[in-house]
Structure 1
Amino acid sequence: MLDIATDIREALDAGRRLAVATVTAVDGSAPRALGTSMAVDDRGRVYGSISGGCVEGAVYQAAEAVLATGEPALHEFGFTDGDAFAAGLSCGGSIEVFVREIAPLGARGGIDARIADELDATASGRPAGIAIVVRGSARGALLAATASAAEVVSEGLDAGAAERILRELTARVGSGASGTAVVDCDGEPLTVLFVVSSTAPRMIIFGAVDFSAALADASALLGYHVTVCDARPLFATSTRFPSADEVVVAWPSVYLEQTVVDERTVICVLTHDEKFDIPLLTTALTLPVAYVGAMGSRTTHERRMRLLADAGLGERELGRLHSPIGLDIGGSTPQETAVSILAEVIASRTAASGAALRRVDGPIHRAVPVGAPLPAPDEGLVR
């Protein structure tokens, strides 16, 4: 729902009723992620997509039925259907979809003002979260991250269950992790989908060089909040890095010590200068970030590792460094190098092999468990 928050809010403001279909479970090679939504309004207009075209027709019909009855519904599409090509996923996976009517504020069955606030927060780029009960007697109940337990008892939930759901929702908003969980409601198990929208993950690029400009461009396309940092004001300018959200003139290691990072942050060191690289990497490799990579030849890498060890880093910290940076795809231009780097970032985040799909068995689209540890740079990656 939050992935199409702007469209939903605009339709509600125009007085439209909508049926919102949200992916609650994914099995096999289904192409869209948990929490992805598609909506159909009472004039037949479609917003968003949940399967890249595989089951949109069937979901559209399910949404029309919910608009007609007002009753929420849970559907499964995919290889469990009699004919996967008729109403399922021809790629061989399956998805479970929950469909619920959403009406304007003040209308019969209208959404709570707090849900509207979550939609507005998402549309403006602020963290937000919604919990949807998809199984149990309270099926269809919506809870907002800003609500209190007392405010949602009317949704068919006792205060204790509402409190547990809201506590889980708040934690997931903080971590940026959507997912499902079973919550006890006065002895009854309720299946709850937590859909969260958090701030964009950070891509911090050190070194104002041509490779950095290409990496900034590509990272922005992937939804990162991009920062380029260099100590040289002549090179670190917004004109040279138009796609960056921030261009910072500062000593790299000092900036990194002072800026905010989290477990989704990516740090790429492209400076090629030991006086910057060593103190910078000494700090970066001790931070709880998703990825630390450094550009350089194998000779540069070997010397860098010795200097970092001399600076006091142990095997665990040194094992986190992706260097030489990127996957082996034969790239040489700044743009091709950017693709190589981001391919490794994605493979690290998903614990994927980085091998050609035609040489890999199993589903193409794989869910990554919440909190799953990242592999070490040399584990499972084609370098």
Structure 2
Amino acid sequence: MLDIAAELCEWCEQDRDFAVATVVFVDGSAPRLPGAALAVDATGVAVGSVSGGCVEGAVYELCREVLASGEPVLTRFGPDGDDPFLSQVTCGGVIEILVVPVYAADRAAVVPVLRGDRAALARVVDGPPGTLGRSLLVRADGSYAGSLGGAAGSDETAAAEARQVLAAGRHWARVVLGTAGDGHRQPFTLFVEARAEPPRMLVFGAIDHAAALTTLGRFLGYRVTVCDARPVFATRERFPDAHEVVVDWPHRHLRKTATDDRTVICVLTHDAKFDIPLLSRALALPVAYVGALGSRRTQADRMVRLRAEGVPEWQLDRLRSPVGLDLGARTPEETALSIAAEIVAVTRGGSGLPLTGGDTPIHRDFGHEHCRVPPTATASRRPLSAR
């Protein structure tokens, strides 16, 4: 539900009751990832989306029912069904949606996550009777509030799992607690949403292409830093969309900058005195993407220089250069778009090929990558295409 956090925070401030439907599981092709949400208030106003349109009407009505009854519901929508009037996921996949009411007494559990605090919200999507939708607010300092309503120790275990999600910088995860015979009457399956720090985009080289790329990077949700050793070019006025503008030698700034496996590094200097020490460092880091601007001739010379510096072949294979997808780009804005498109393809597992005439999945299945064990399917829930 973090994609509609601003609207929900405003509703909480206005003391509005609402129900929120959150995608908690995706199998196969689906238009929205887990965490996508749609909320409906007591007057029928709706914000957000869970499917891009194909099941919105059914989920809207379900939100209104849940808000009236006060009972959480877990439901699934898929492509099957004999009734043409039932809502179905036309992409061919299956989505599982948890719908919970949020009244005045529930707001304390969701507001910290909505307003941007370093916190995680764990909700039960499968568990012992009476626990569906119960939540636990877990703060970055390890404290927590609420209860899952399970056996002794389940809240502490859930809080520890949620803290791991926070520490890993994830926005969501689906985790299972306990197994039969370890003191739990029934295992819990939790959907955890976390206020993770945004991934970083490091843009080296304060050129016009960089200005366009910082705008796109911010639009895609990155925390964008522009770095250049030349103070006349690395200015806030030239890069208003950057979160940070740094005057420093690129390789020196990278050495003292925190990165993780979500970080993308874009080297736009195409000047050997900057590129070689910077790329020698960048290619050794466990980051998501390293791309470098330059012609094919520049790239050939760059590879010779990097090999002379001792950069191993497996690291050189990670370098995306000439940077970007082949869009026929000419302007700085078009070039930035080709770079951003390649970043999305690399980080999301796309091919970069046209979808027309292809047979690869349009929506990659990321639903399982954060699961510690396969999701259970034992909870009482509404059937596929319920409504």
Residues 339-378 of structure 1 mapped to structure 2, 5 A cutoff: 339-368=337-366, 370=369
Cα deviations by residue, 1:169-194 (Å, 9 ceiling, x for unpaired): 11112223312122227141222111
- C-alpha distance 53-136 of structure 1, shift in aligned 2 (>3 A): same
2:230 counterpart of 1:229: no
In 2 relative to 1, CA 231–83 (structure 1 residues): closer, same or farther, beyond 3 Å? farther
Q: Residue 5 of structure 2 corresponds to which residue in structure 1?
A: 5
2:153 is paired with a residue whose SS is helix
Q: What value does the CA root-mean-square deviation take over the aligned residues?
A: 2.0
Q: Contact 2:113 / 2:195 at 8 angstroms: preserved in 1?
A: no
Native 8 Å contact 1:229 1:250 kept in 2: yes
Question: Could you say if the C-alpha distance between residues 139 and 223 of structure 1 is closer, same or farther in structure 2, counting changes exceeding 3 Å?
Answer: same
Q: State the Cα distance separating 1:22 from its structure 2 match.
A: 0.6
CA distance in 2, matches of 1:61, 1:304: 59
Q: In the aligned structure 1, how far is the partner of 2:323 from the partner of 2:238?
A: 23
Output one character per residue of 1:112-144: Cα deviation in whole Å (capped at 9) or x when no partner: 634322222x2xxx5432111011222111111
The worse-fitting range, judged by mean Cα deviation, of 166-175 and 37-46 is 166-175
Structure 2: gaps spanning 5 or more residues: 372-387
Output the CA distance in 1 between the equivalents of 2:191 and 2:232: 50
Q: Which amino acid aligns with 1:176?
A: G
Matched residue SS, 2:187: strand
For residues 144 and 168 of structure 2, the distance between their equivalents in structure 1, rounded to whole angstroms, comes to: 25
Please give the alpha-carbon distance, in whole angstroms, between the structure 1 residues aligned to 2:143 and 2:224.
37
Aligned equivalent of 1:193: 191
Deviation of the 1:148 alpha carbon: 6.3
Q: Give the aligned partner of residue 174 of structure 1.
A: 167
Q: 1:150 to 1:342 in 2, by over 3 A?
A: closer
SS at match of 1:229: strand
Code of the aligned partner of 1:293: G
State the partner residue of 2:112: 117
- 2:63 partner amino acid: A
CA distance in 1, matches of 2:223, 2:272: 26
- Whole-Å Cα distance in 2 between the matches of residues 51 and 345 of structure 1? 24
Matched, 1:130 2:121: yes
1:89 is displaced (CA, Å) by 2.2
Amino acid at match of 2:328: G
Q: Kindly state the Cα deviation for residue 316 of structure 1 after the two structures are TM-superposed.
A: 1.8
Shift of 1:151: 4.7
Within 1, Cα distance between the matches of 2:84 and 2:124?
A: 27
1:302 equivalenced with 2:300 (yes/no): yes
Question: Aligned partners of 1:132, 1:82: CA distance in 2, in Å?
Answer: 32
Seen in structure 2, the aligned counterparts of structure 1 residues 371 and 10 have a Cα distance that, compared at 3 Å, is closer
1:163 matched to 2:162: no
CA distance in 2, matches of 1:85, 1:304: 60
1:318 aligns with: 316
Higher relative contact order (CA 8 A, sep 6+): 2
Equivalent pair of 1:29/1:365 in contact (CA under 8 Å): yes
Conserved? CA contact 1:130–1:142, under 8 Å: yes
Q: Whole-Å Cα distance in 1 between the matches of residues 173 and 80 of structure 2?
A: 22
Unmatched tracts of structure 1, length 5 or more: 105-109, 373-383
Displacement after TM superposition at 1:92 (Å): 2.6
Distance in 2 (CA, whole Å) between partners of 1:213 and 1:51 is 33
Contact 2:327-2:338 at 8 Å conserved across structures: yes
- Calculate percent identity across the aligned residue pairs: 47
Q: 3-state SS of the aligned residue for 1:279?
A: helix
CA offsets per residue over residues 259-283 of structure 1, 9 Å max, x none?
1211111110010111111011111
In the alignment, what sits opposite 2:272? Answer: 274
Q: Is the 8 A contact 1:78 1:84 kept in 2?
A: no
Q: Which position in structure 2 is the counterpart of 1:376?
A: none
**Separation in structure 1 between the aligned mates of residue 28 and residue 360 of structure 2, nearest angstrom:** 8
Q: Aligned to 1:206, which of 204, 207, 222?
A: 204
- Note the C-alpha offset of 1:51: 1.2
Q: Which amino acid aligns with 2:154?
A: A
Matches within 5 A, 1:286-301: 286-301=284-299
Deviations 1:137-175 (A, max 9, x none): 22111111229688544x412342222222121111222
Distance 1:182 1:371, change over 3 A: closer
Q: Is the 8 A contact 1:148 1:163 kept in 2?
A: no
Tell me if the contact between 1:80 and 1:94 (Cα under 8 Å) persists in the aligned partners.
Answer: no
Indicate the SS of the match to 1:57. helix
Tell me how many residue pairs correspond in the alignment.
362
User: How big is each residue's C-alpha offset from its partner over 1:222-272, in whole Å with a ceiling of 9 and x where there is no partner?
Assistant: 121111111111111111112111111111111111112111111100101
The residue type paired with residue 341 of structure 1 is I
Q: Please give the alpha-carbon distance, in whole angstroms, between the structure 2 residues aligned to 1:297 and 1:363.
A: 32
Task: Give yes or no for contact 1:226–1:245 (8 Å, CA) kept in 2.
Answer: yes
Asked whether 1:74 is paired with 2:74, we answer: yes
Q: Distance in 2 between matches of 1:159 and 1:181?
A: 18
